[in-house]
Structure 1
Amino acid sequence: MSDFAPTIHDYPNFDPRSDAEALRKAMKGLGTDEKTIVNVLGKRSNKQRQQIIVQYKMLYGKDLINDLKGELSGKFEAVIIALLVPTYEYDARLLRGSIRGLGTDEDLLIEILSSRSPSDIRQIKQVYQQLFKKDLEKDIINDTSGHFQRLLVSLSTGMRDEGNNIDPSLAKRDAEALLKAGVKKWGTDESAFNAILASRNFNQLRATMDEYRKISGHTLEQAIRSEMSGDLANAMTAVAKCAQYRPAYFAERLYNSMKGIGTNDDMLIRIVVTRCEVDMQNIKSEFQRLYGKSLESFISGDCSGDYKRVLIALVQGNF
């Protein structure tokens, strides 16, 4: 499996003071220079954007995020503000937003908890506690139920094996256990699926899925869809897809955010912002392979104006 490659790196010859001054100039006077805002914030890493925020406050005694909120609006404002939130805080706020209030955004909970590394999840939980004075696991328990709840709780521990080793004999035993717990059982033993999918490292899970296909004649994803339904099936499938190849999972998510009538702007912004410093190069390659079009061309056809320009800047990168 090839190494993951981001599109946004630390910008070379970075000067936070110069960037802060450019942003201030872009917001002074009549009108706003959106192009400068895109060129600065769309080409800096999150770590560098945090330094720009500090410089801006030091130079002008004002909060950059508040100033930008006063100048921008709509989807362009949403993506620019998202870029300025520290990485783990951004995920913590997304999780909190998916839980609080009426209804639960199960889709968002699944996406984050199934795709983040165990160490990332532990950092997110810590920030969640600091920001909201609440425990993420308790919030999940209060807002979900059944086997879906149990899987989310298992994922939220951040205790998945973080190694890269593969034990072929374990892969065979796990594949047999999954087959016995699913299609060979009257009813389904969801706990067996939970225990394996939530604890094995992704390399090990890939080996297990290969073994499962050999002994069953179908994929583990097909088994999950035939044995389970609703949020639990979606969550189990998401874990399996992320284990198979995370960039392909996100390429599919991006496609689903833009296909058909209307765009799921929240999903599109969330994925581009959170993956541009992780594996966006790989996602772009998978998008092209799966759908026969570049991600940039898809965004160009589905979005407009400054919103589109900042998304494309993040997808193309700052090389």
Structure 2
Amino acid sequence: MPQVYKMSYPGYPPTGYPPFPGYPPAGQESSFPPPGQYPYPSGFPPMGGGAYSAAPSSGYPGAPGYPAPGGYPAPAGYPGAPQAGGAPPYPGGGFPGGQVPSQYPGGQAPFPNQPAVMNQGTIRPAANFDAMRDAEILRKAMKGFGTDEQAIVDVVANRSNDQRQKIKAAFKTMYGKDLIKDLKSELSGNMEELILALFMPPTYYDAWSLRNAMQGVGTQERVLIEILCTRTNQEIREIVRCYQSEFGRDLEKDIRSDTSGHFERLLVSMCQGNRDENQSVNHQMAQEDAQRLYQAGEGRLGTDESCFNMILATRSFPQLKATMEAYSRMANRDLLSSVGREFSGYVESGLKTILQCALNRPAFFAERLYYSMKGAGTDDSTLVRIVVTRSEIDLVQIKQMFCQMYQKTLGTMIASDTSGDYRRLLLAIVGQ
């Protein structure tokens, strides 16, 4: 199937779609960029996708400052934590005795009424930023014979996404050339994919990743899960609008045509962007939901899948955490383990992703990073997608959890699994 990248200038972004700062500059929508010169030509990185997430609201699992700087140790049995007898880490494993801790060390619950804290990304906006100066540095790095990759790394890895959009616009203004096309002509392979991911506006990157995950032969189900099961309502609604405006396609229809059964229903529920986001917890509801989930799974012959879908698709993440605690007290086993016994395949992965994010979102992404590099070969698309999309949100916390879960640093594992300028840029992003 041919790739379709439908751009909508003038009039981009569509009504109700939050503009990306500096992209296009306010008041220049009608002429930015000139027709046919949109900075994303066809022929993006190889299919494999990507993802993004704007910073969730304060108090939301995975929001800036969750957990507090310094982190907290992964509970024994929770993904990748040391197991009894030295057994290897297992993602999504159960808590000892089925007991989910009711609170974190120091009694600090990371959910409601937490004060706003500093961003926990490894990349922050550069001080004294000058888009024209950066555009000139990139131009010189690509001019003449050879390419000064280090100069490109120094600029790209130390600017926020908003600043990269301004550099892209300044480059076209100054030189009448498209920065992305120039970079594509100078780079190749994983380095090219990483650079292009860094220069995509975040919502576009998510929408583009979903499109690529469902385009052509086969479907990359884990990309769909990673994006749709971890995003906030606002993020999902923006992705749906961007998917329609840029690719001329309906995301829900594409999901229905590429998936089936209970997995399809879960993803359709996710792409509505209607999860309750009230940060307060109703403990009576948590007890009732725990009882309903038990009766829909462990407490009966067969499984009432619709009950699991309804609760996990509609309850807030803090509410789901409370439900997991109530379930472990009632059933003497954790809900993650019960999902593993009652479901299989991609619907199991999707439900577990939701529950893992309710418990500890940085740990979920740390696990994904670990398994993208574990064993023979590297899943570079997953590695690129998570490093780029979490770099301004919670990559500091992800690094902390990675070290606690796997007894090695994220930078060490990246260094051993990658090479060349690609490794240099990844390490610069993660802050090694």
The two structures have a TM-score, normalised by structure 1, of 0.98
Alpha-carbon shift at residue 10 of structure 1 (Å): 1.1
Alpha-carbon shift at residue 277 of structure 1 (Å): 1.0
| Residues 16-51 of structure 1, C-alpha deviations (whole Å, 9 max, x = no match) | 000000000000011000001001011111110000
Query: How many Å separate the matches in 2 of 1:279 and 1:122?
Result: 22
For the pair 1:191 / 2:306, whether they are aligned, the reply is yes
- The residue identity in structure 2 corresponding to 1:178 is L
Query: How many Å separate the matches in 1 of 2:289 and 2:172?
Result: 54
For the pair 1:108 / 2:223, whether they are aligned, the reply is yes
* 1:2 alignment counterpart: 67
Structure having the higher helix fraction is 1
| Residues 42-87 of structure 1, C-alpha deviations (whole Å, 9 max, x = no match) | 1111110000000000000000000000001111111011100100
Query: How many Å separate the matches in 1 of 2:211 and 2:338?
Result: 32
For the pair 1:57 / 2:172, whether they are aligned, the reply is yes
Query: How many Å separate the matches in 2 of 1:204 and 1:306?
Result: 44
Alpha-carbon shift at residue 100 of structure 1 (Å): 1.6
Alpha-carbon shift at residue 6 of structure 1 (Å): 1.1
Alpha-carbon shift at residue 118 of structure 1 (Å): 1.3
* 2:108 alignment counterpart: none
For the pair 1:267 / 2:382, whether they are aligned, the reply is yes
* 1:253 alignment counterpart: 368
Query: How many Å separate the matches in 2 of 1:241 and 1:47?
Result: 30
Query: How many Å separate the matches in 1 of 2:207 and 2:420?
Result: 29
Alpha-carbon shift at residue 219 of structure 1 (Å): 1.1
* 1:228 alignment counterpart: 343
* 2:268 alignment counterpart: 153
* 2:20 alignment counterpart: none
Match among 403, 425, 428 for residue 288 of structure 1: 403
Structure 1 segments, 4+ long, off by >4 Å, are none
Mapping for residues 210-225 of structure 1, pairs under 5 Å? 210-225=325-340
Mapping for residues 33-44 of structure 1, pairs under 5 Å? 33-44=148-159
Farther-moved stretch of structure 1 (160-169 vs 49-58): 160-169
Alpha-carbon shift at residue 199 of structure 1 (Å): 0.7
* 2:98 alignment counterpart: none
* 2:127 alignment counterpart: 12
Query: How many Å separate the matches in 2 of 1:91 and 1:12?
Result: 27
Query: How many Å separate the matches in 2 of 1:201 and 1:82?
Result: 30
| Residues 257-293 of structure 1, C-alpha deviations (whole Å, 9 max, x = no match) | 0011110001100110111111101100000000011
Query: How many Å separate the matches in 2 of 1:68 and 1:250?
Result: 29
For the pair 1:298 / 2:413, whether they are aligned, the reply is yes
* 1:276 alignment counterpart: 391
Alpha-carbon shift at residue 2 of structure 1 (Å): 2.9
Query: How many Å separate the matches in 2 of 1:257 and 1:2?
Result: 23
For the pair 1:166 / 2:281, whether they are aligned, the reply is yes
Question: 3-state DSSP class of the match of 2:229?
Answer: helix
* 1:134 alignment counterpart: 249
Alpha-carbon shift at residue 8 of structure 1 (Å): 1.1
Query: How many Å separate the matches in 2 of 1:245 and 1:5?
Result: 15
Query: How many Å separate the matches in 1 of 2:328 and 2:127?
Result: 46
* 2:61 alignment counterpart: none
Match among 164, 177, 181 for residue 66 of structure 1: 181
